[in-house]
């Protein structure tokens, strides 16, 4: 059984209503690794709903968290003063709006593109609106118990006058002040300068520290399931302490969970926004079809790491996905693969197989044609497809866009080419010139189909006792200005016969 269904079954044992939670701190571009978290959660939501339950997906934007440091992608001068302040209160890097929204907006757009539409929780606003009041109060009332749990389970020592609140200084920065006294809803502390500051706990002046904030969210939102990264899952980590806090102090339920592994960039290691070694969700969508992105997450077990190769490997991933799609409709898949395919669909599962064009072929066409429209016409002319319906058209269009993005940012040189508008000036040898004459005649007189074109080179090989390779080389040189290129039969068939003959005639 697919992992999402295994979890769904377990969840449904305790009821039909479920809240699946996911979240991230929007401190930088939100990357593909973070997308795994929410796609994993989304899979569970779909699985529960498919089995007749009623699950909703909640996305918590942890924008009450402070900016930890000036990240490499930030302007040092401008952002130095904001370190320590809640992300929701900092201006965006481009000056428009707030910092958190600057990163969240494109991420939500990306999520929409992969078919995920969560209910968004603005954590900062939650604090402001007093949503945390009850939990905060309960924790404060039981702060010795809380301290006990944290110290015992995490094995760290808390200061003598520990108070379960991250204070907010008068300059707006979150800080570790010295706790003085407390009287709901106010807490008084001494800041570094020795000044007494008051925070109103009901108004979001400061926040709960993460290890208390997380279990509080479970209770406030009624979370029944959460997928989280293995950094939280370590012994004595925030999940371990969170479990006890929510059970013993908040008297609420511990959510079910799974731990997911990181996504590595092939040959480079785990993605981290802080090191800059990351592909943002946005960027990802500009080079890979959304259903393939989903499939990369749905196919493997969540606890296995995924190696993502934005180079040639991406083509393999798309090919594999397309093959799975075909086999799905041929009813030829094992249960897990079949389910992974279903969970990879952006919208509902189409009940008919769509016409698919081999992705590698599209990579060629995208570089020789101006638009998706032209590509479609060409494919119809070469007999690769019959007329496309609306869905197929959209798919073609979006895939062409992905390929264009991929070609310009990630593709290796070996697959790139450009049709030369003017005949490249090349010093052909005498023999080459003779072959060009032979080609002129051949190209002008054959049926312009991929197979015929392909065969014709071998006819020349027979006729003139010259390796077909030589003819290939010449064709690439005259049209692309380089010695290699895409499979010639298919490629030439996609451009005008007239153009090819004229090109040869100019030598």
Q: Which residues form the interface with RNA (CB under 7 A)?
A: 1, 6, 23-25, 62, 65-66, 68, 154, 156, 166, 207, 209-211, 213, 230-238, 259, 261-262, 269-270, 300-301, 303-305, 307, 311-313, 315-316, 320, 334, 336, 360, 414, 455, 458-459, 461, 468-469, 472, 484-491
Nearest approach in angstroms of CB 156 to RNA is 5
Residues belonging to the chain: 507
Which of 115/169 has CB closer to RNA?
A: 169
Nearest approach in angstroms of CB 310 to RNA is 12
Nearest approach in angstroms of CB 239 to RNA is 9
Nearest approach in angstroms of CB 364 to RNA is 8
Q: How does strand 174-175 pair with strand 167-168?
A: antiparallel
CA distance 439 to 444: 8
Best CA proximity match to 36, nearest among 289, 279, 315: 279
Which of 129/394 has CB closer to RNA?
A: 129
189 φ, ψ to 5°?
-145, 165
Distance linking the first and last C-alpha atoms of the chain: 63
CA distance 128 to 137: 15
Which of 110/494 has CB closer to RNA?
A: 494
- CA 74, distance to chain mean position in Å, is 22
Nearest approach in angstroms of CB 394 to RNA is 26
Which of 398/461 has CB closer to RNA?
A: 461
Retrieve residue 472's tokens.
Answer: 């290939």
Contact 21, 58 (CB under 8 A): yes
Which of 19/480 has CB closer to RNA?
A: 480
Nearest approach in angstroms of CB 6 to RNA is 4
Nearest approach in angstroms of CB 307 to RNA is 6
Write the DSSP symbol of residue 31: B
Task: Classify burial at 12, counting beta carbons within 10 Å of its beta carbon; exposed 0-12, middle 13-18, buried 19 or more.
Answer: middle
Which of 6/426 has CB closer to RNA?
A: 6
- Residue 54's alpha-carbon distances to 3, 57, 147, in angstroms, are 18, 10, 37
CA distance 288 to 321: 12
Nearest approach in angstroms of CB 235 to RNA is 4
Which of 71/262 has CB closer to RNA?
A: 262
Best CA proximity match to 18, nearest among 28, 9, 29: 9
Nearest approach in angstroms of CB 157 to RNA is 9
Which of 113/336 has CB closer to RNA?
A: 336
Which of 115/310 has CB closer to RNA?
A: 310
Contact 79, 67 (CB under 8 A): yes
Nearest approach in angstroms of CB 451 to RNA is 8
Question: Coil, strand, or helix at residue 223?
Answer: coil
Which of 209/444 has CB closer to RNA?
A: 209
Best CA proximity match to 364, nearest among 454, 492, 472: 492
Contact 85, 173 (CB under 8 A): yes
Retrieve residue 444's tokens.
Answer: 């002008």
- Taking 3-state DSSP, the helix, strand and coil percentages for the chain, each rounded to the nearest 5, stand at 50, 15, 35
């Amino acid at each position: 059984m697919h992992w999402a269904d295994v979890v769904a079954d377990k969840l449904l044992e305790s009821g039909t209503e479920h809240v699946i939670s996911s979240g991230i701190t929007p401190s930088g571009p939100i990357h593909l690794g973070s997308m795994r978290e929410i796609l994993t959660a989304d899979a569970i939501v779909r699985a529960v709903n498919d089995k007749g339950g009623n699950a909703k997906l909640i996305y918590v934007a942890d924008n009450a968290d402070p900016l930890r440091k000036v990240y490499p992608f930030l302007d040092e001068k401008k952002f130095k003063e904001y370190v320590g302040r809640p992300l929701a209160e900092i201006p965006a890097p481009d000056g428009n709006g707030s910092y958190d929204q600057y990163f969240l907006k494109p991420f939500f757009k990306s999520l929409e593109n992969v078919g995920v539409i969560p209910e968004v929780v603005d954590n900062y606003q939650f604090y402001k609106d007093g949503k945390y009041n009850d939990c905060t109060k309960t924790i404060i009332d039981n702060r010795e118990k809380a301290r006990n749990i944290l110290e015992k389970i995490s094995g760290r020592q808390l200061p003598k006058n520990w108070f379960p609140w991250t204070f907010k200084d008068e300059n707006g920065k979150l800080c570790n002040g010295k706790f003085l006294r407390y009287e709901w809803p106010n807490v008084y502390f001494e800041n570094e300068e020795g000044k007494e500051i008051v925070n109103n706990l009901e108004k979001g002046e400061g926040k709960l520290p993460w290890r208390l904030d997380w279990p509080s969210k479970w209770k406030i939102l009624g979370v029944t399931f959460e997928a989280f990264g293995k950094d939280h899952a370590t012994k004595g980590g925030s999940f371990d302490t969170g479990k006890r806090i929510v059970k013993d102090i908040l008297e609420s339920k511990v959510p079910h969970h799974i731990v997911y592994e990181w996504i590595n960039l092939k040959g480079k290691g785990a993605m981290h926004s802080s090191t800059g070694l990351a592909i943002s969700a946005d960027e990802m969508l500009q080079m890979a079809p959304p259903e393939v992105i989903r499939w990369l997450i749905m196919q493997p077990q969540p606890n296995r790491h995924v190696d993502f190769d934005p180079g040639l490997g991406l083509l393999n991933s798309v090919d594999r996905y397309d093959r799975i799609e075909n086999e799905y409709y041929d009813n030829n898949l094992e249960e897990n693969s079949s389910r992974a395919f279903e969970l990879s669909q952006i919208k509902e599962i189409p009940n008919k197989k769509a016409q698919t064009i081999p992705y590698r072929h599209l990579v060629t066409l995208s570089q020789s044609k101006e638009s998706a429209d032209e590509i479609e016409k060409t494919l119809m002319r070469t007999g690769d497809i019959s007329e496309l319906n609306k869905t197929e058209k959209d798919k073609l269009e979006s895939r062409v866009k992905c390929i264009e993005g991929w070609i310009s940012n990630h593709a290796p040189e070996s697959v790139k080419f450009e049709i030369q508008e003017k005949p490249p000036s090349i010093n052909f040898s005498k023999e080459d010139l003779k072959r060009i004459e032979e080609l002129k005649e051949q190209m002008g007189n054959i049926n312009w189909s991929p197979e015929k074109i392909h065969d014709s080179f071998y006819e020349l090989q027979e006729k003139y006792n010259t390796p077909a390779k030589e003819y290939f080389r010449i064709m690439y040189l005259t049209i692309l200005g380089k010695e290699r290129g895409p499979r010639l039969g298919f490629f030439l068939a996609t451009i005008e016969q007239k153009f090819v003959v004229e090109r040869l005639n100019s030598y």
